[in-house]
């Protein structure tokens, strides 16, 4: 992860928020290349889930919603995380993220207790076994459980994962919604929340969409937008932030067809990540255990990615049943049902919700693209080439125009090529770079994942009016006439 954090800053992908003031925890700024990458991800998601489907429409709902929304959705009552503090080092943790490894020796010997915030349970097991070996003790068994689930009588003996002092508090529930006030008076009646998910904007607009768009079941609403959660322990770079973007779908179906649609969406969403080049061996599906399910869900499967800190959620796909429409009908007094022509009945549709994070997807695509390769450096030596092997749809810069050197003969033609590509490769970012040696400029483009470099040399201006296209991954070079450059690049970038 450290390499990605450093590359992201050095090359203008992601900066710490308000860095000059010491930073704002859990908030991140996307730099000039980061905003392109994230926009490309959101655009690819929108294209695949709205534009290319006959059964989806889009929405952009407000962040500030009527506060009753959050009572109906259950967020006021249930949107809590268990929090635990260390009295010794003052560190704060999410209690369900503190894993406790318990080595049981026999019923009358106190267990060996170790804790960790690393999600790899095997590492914790091994550490407990090692501790037992060091003390010449024979373990009966080792169990790993979250701090908030272990037998309360053992809690005061659990060492803090940070300072190892057994000084952790009891878990306390903490509501994650940010509060603010509408209007000039800070009183309870004026209190609203920053939305913790985009989903509710789609539920409260269900009737508006059905009526205005004359929709029949099954159909879905898609939305991309900011969400805010006062996370207890933001971290792992942008993985867990307090302000982030979601890409969510609420897909409304007839009850009884929900399980089938759930499976279809799981398959579709998994395929989407692979279609954009994500390594399939670093993706997996994890169905939730029944005791892990959210209060509204009949079933949930997470798409997980193998992040540097272990397998972690990239997207959750839940069967939310008729919970949300039912709740909003009850709380608002407005009927949110659907008239089924075939049966002549009013029904409350079931909902399948594929809920992805734009920032987690951006981080996963960045990590997945990162490669270090040994390449020849002349004189029989090699050097390390860092290359982001982005799918061309996602690459922030699609083409870089590089004159062989900064030279008065080359510059006019190179600038002309640059101007042509900027306007004719519509909606694609093209860069121009003529500083330092050509080798260094190739490396710079490799490091930001530019799929193609176009080099203008003396042959171009003196002889053949052609340029060299260099492909990022193979580093293969091809000579193409300037007149054919736009169609050639469009084809290579899959823009037709």
Structure tokens at 443: 């490396």
**Nearest residue (beta carbon) to ligand ATP:** 357
> Binding ligand ATP by CB under 6 A: which of 360, 398, 444, 470?
360
Q: Is 229 a residue that touches ligand ATP (CB under 6 A)?
A: yes
Please provide the distance, in angstroms rounded to a whole number, between the alpha carbons at the two ends of the chain.
36
Q: Which of residues 159-198 bind ligand ATP (CB under 6 A)?
A: 197
Q: Between residues 93 and 244, which has the closer beta carbon with respect to ligand ATP?
A: 244
463 burial (CB, 10 Å; 0-12 / 13-18 / 19+) is exposed
Nearer to ligand ATP, 93 or 338 (CB): 93
Residue 355 is a binding residue for ligand ATP (CB under 6 A): yes
* Residue with Cβ nearer ligand ATP (137 or 309): 309
Q: Does 96 participate in binding ligand ATP (rule CB under 6 A)?
A: no
- Residue 315 in contact with ligand ATP, rule: CB under 6 A: yes
Q: Which of 313, 340, 373, 447 binds ligand ATP (CB under 6 A)?
A: 313
Tell me the C-alpha distance between 316 and 418, whole Å.
42
DSSP string, 152-172: GGGGGGPPPTTT--S-BPPPE
Distance CA 58, CA 236 (A): 31
The residues pairing with 66 across neighbouring beta strands, listed in sequence order, are: none
**Cα distance between residue 437 and residue 432, in whole Å:** 14
Q: At closest approach, how far in Å is the CB of 396 from ligand ATP?
A: 20
Report how far apart, in Å, the C-alpha atoms of 76 and of each of 67, 69, 93, 364, 469 are. Answer: 9, 9, 21, 31, 57
Work out how close the CB of 250 gets to ligand ATP at its nearest, in angstroms, rounded to a whole number: 13
Q: Which is nearer to ligand ATP, 268 or 313 (CB)?
A: 313
Q: Measuring CA to CA, which residue among 256, 235, 257 is closest to residue 244?
A: 235
Tokens matching residue 412: 């006019």
The span of 8-16, 127-135, 142-150, 311-319 binding ligand ATP (CB under 6 A) equals 311-319
CA 310 to CA 468: how far, in whole Å?
42
Cα 326 to chain center, whole Å? Answer: 30
Q: Pick between residue 360 and residue 391 the one whose CB is nearest to ligand ATP.
A: 360
CB of 234: closest distance to ligand ATP in angstroms?
A: 7
75 contributes a contact to ligand ATP by CB under 6 A:
no
* For ligand ATP, the closer CB: 231 or 433: 231
Phi and psi, residue 434, nearest 5°: -130, 15
How far apart are alpha carbons 181 and 184 in whole angstroms? Answer: 8
Please state whether beta strands 399-403 and 430-432 pair in parallel, antiparallel, or not at all (unpaired): parallel
Judge whether 298 and 319 are in contact, CB under 8 Å.
Answer: yes
Closer residue to ligand ATP in complex, CB, 104/176: 176
Q: Establish if 69 lies at the interface with ligand ATP (CB under 6 A).
A: no
CB of 487 to ligand ATP, least distance (A): 38
Please report whether residue 316 would count as binding ligand ATP according to CB under 6 A.
yes
Q: How far apart are CA 33 and CA 370, in angstroms?
A: 15
CB of residue 211 to ligand ATP, shortest distance in Å: 28
Locate tokens 């900064």: which residue?
A: 406
User: Within 452-481, which residues bind ligand ATP (CB under 6 A)?
Assistant: none
Contact letters (x/-) for ligand ATP, 233-272, by CB under 6 A?
-------xx--x-x--------------------------
Stretch that binds ligand ATP, among 142-150, 252-260, 314-322, 331-339 (CB under 6 A): 314-322
Minimum distance, C-beta of residue 64 to ligand ATP, in the bound complex (Å): 19
- Nearest CA to 14 out of 396, 277, 319, 318 is that of 396
- For ligand ATP, the binding residues (CB under 6 A) are 197, 229, 231, 240-241, 244, 246, 313-316, 355-357, 359-360
């Amino acid at each position: 992860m450290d390499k990605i954090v450093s590359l992201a800053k050095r090359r203008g992908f992601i900066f710490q928020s308000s860095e000059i003031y010491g930073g704002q925890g859990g908030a991140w700024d996307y730099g000039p290349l980061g905003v392109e990458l994230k926009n490309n991800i959101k655009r690819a998601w929108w294209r695949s889930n709205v534009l290319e489907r006959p059964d989806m429409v889009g929405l952009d709902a407000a962040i500030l919603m009527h506060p009753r929304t959050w009572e109906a959705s259950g967020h006021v009552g249930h949107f809590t995380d268990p929090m635990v503090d260390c009295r010794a080092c003052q560190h704060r943790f999410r209690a369900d993220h503190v894993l406790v490894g318990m080595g049981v020796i026999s019923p009358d010997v106190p267990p060996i207790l170790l804790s960790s915030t690393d999600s790899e349970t095997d590492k914790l097991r091994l550490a407990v076994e090692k501790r037992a070996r060091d003390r010449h003790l024979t373990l009966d068994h080792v169990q790993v459980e979250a701090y908030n689930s272990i037998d309360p009588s053992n809690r005061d003996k659990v060492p803090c994962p940070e300072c190892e002092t057994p000084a952790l508090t009891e878990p306390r529930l903490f509501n994650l919604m940010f509060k603010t006030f509408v209007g000039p008076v800070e009183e309870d009646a004026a209190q609203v929340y920053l939305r913790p998910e985009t989903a509710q904007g789609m539920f409260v607009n269900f009737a508006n969409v059905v009526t205005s768009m004359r929709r029949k079941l099954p159909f879905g609403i898609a939305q991309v937008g900011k969400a805010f959660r006062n996370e207890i322990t933001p971290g792992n770079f942008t993985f867990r932030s307090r302000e982030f973007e979601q890409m969510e779908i609420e897909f409304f179906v007839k009850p009884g067809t929900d399980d089938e649609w759930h499976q279809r969406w799981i398959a579709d969403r998994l395929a989407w990540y692979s279609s954009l080049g994500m390594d399939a061996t670093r993706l997996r599906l994890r169905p939730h255990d029944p005791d892990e399910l959210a209060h509204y869900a009949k079933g949930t499967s997470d798409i997980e990615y193998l992040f540097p800190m272990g397998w972690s959620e990239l997207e959750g796909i839940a069967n939310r049943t008729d919970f949300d429409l039912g709740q909003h009908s009850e709380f608002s007094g407005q009927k949110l049902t659907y008239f089924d022509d075939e049966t002549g009945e009013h029904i409350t549709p079931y909902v399948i919700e594929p809920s992805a994070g734009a920032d987690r997807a951006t981080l996963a695509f960045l990590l997945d693209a990162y490669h270090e390769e040994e390449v020849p450096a002349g004189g029989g030596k090699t050097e390390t080439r860092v290359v982001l092997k982005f799918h061309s749809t996602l690459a922030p810069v699609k083409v870089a125009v590089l004159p062989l050197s900064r030279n008065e003969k080359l510059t006019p033609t190179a600038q002309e090529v640059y101007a042509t590509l900027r306007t004719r490769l519509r909606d694609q970012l093209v860069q121009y770079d003529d500083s330092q040696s050509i080798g260094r400029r190739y490396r710079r483009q490799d490091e930001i994942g530019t799929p193609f470099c176009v080099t203008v040399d003396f042959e171009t201006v003196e002889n053949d009016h052609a340029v060299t296209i260099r492909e990022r991954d193979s580093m293969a070079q091809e000579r193409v006439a300037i007149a054919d450059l736009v169609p050639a690049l469009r084809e290579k970038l899959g823009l037709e």
